[in-house]
Amino acid sequence: MNHSILIVDDDKNCLEFLKDSLKTNNHSVISSSSALDALEIMEEQAFDLIIIDVNMPEMNGVELAQKIFELQPDIKTLGITGGGFLGDADHVKSIAESFFTSFLKKPFDIEVLLNITKELLDKDYPLQ
């Protein structure tokens, strides 16, 4: 089944890599390098899954996920991070678990991402 996915990451190389990888699985993929732009995109289009980098300028990924949860609580979100300004990846994960449906630490194998994406898209929300 073709699903609609929004990827939000300020790292353009990572953004393109994720976009290309997910498109090979016949998903409709839109990307944004800005959390604020992503919110505007969400006003125009519905998504089945939003993949969000936690460490971004302007609005970090946790803030974005929180905003998404307020606007559309049924959207599945996958947080990705390698740590950074919010602390190490494990600390960030513990902070973000209430706003993300699932979480993945960088670096990750693309097969792991594809499997988690498939699992999220195949399951009914909320995940158990």
Question: Domains in the chain, start-ordered, CATH in brackets?
Answer: 4-10+28-43+53-122 (3.40.50.2300)
- pTM equals 0.85
Residue whose entry in the numeric block shows the structure tokens 């599945």: 76
Is the Cα dihedral 116, 121, 122, 125 positive or negative? positive
* pLDDT at residue 84 in the model: 57
Report how far apart, in Å, the C-alpha atoms of 80 and of each of 1, 85, 91, 98 are. Answer: 24, 14, 13, 14
SS3 for 56-105 is CCCCCHHHHHHHHHHHCCCCEEEEEECCCCCCCHHHHHHHHCCCCCEEEE
Question: What is residue 8's three-state secondary structure?
Answer: strand
* pLDDT at residue 10 in the model: 92
* pLDDT at residue 54 in the model: 87
Q: Average pLDDT per run of 10 along the chain, which is 128 residues long?
A: 90 91 88 95 94 89 90 90 59 66 85 92 61
* pLDDT at residue 127 in the model: 42
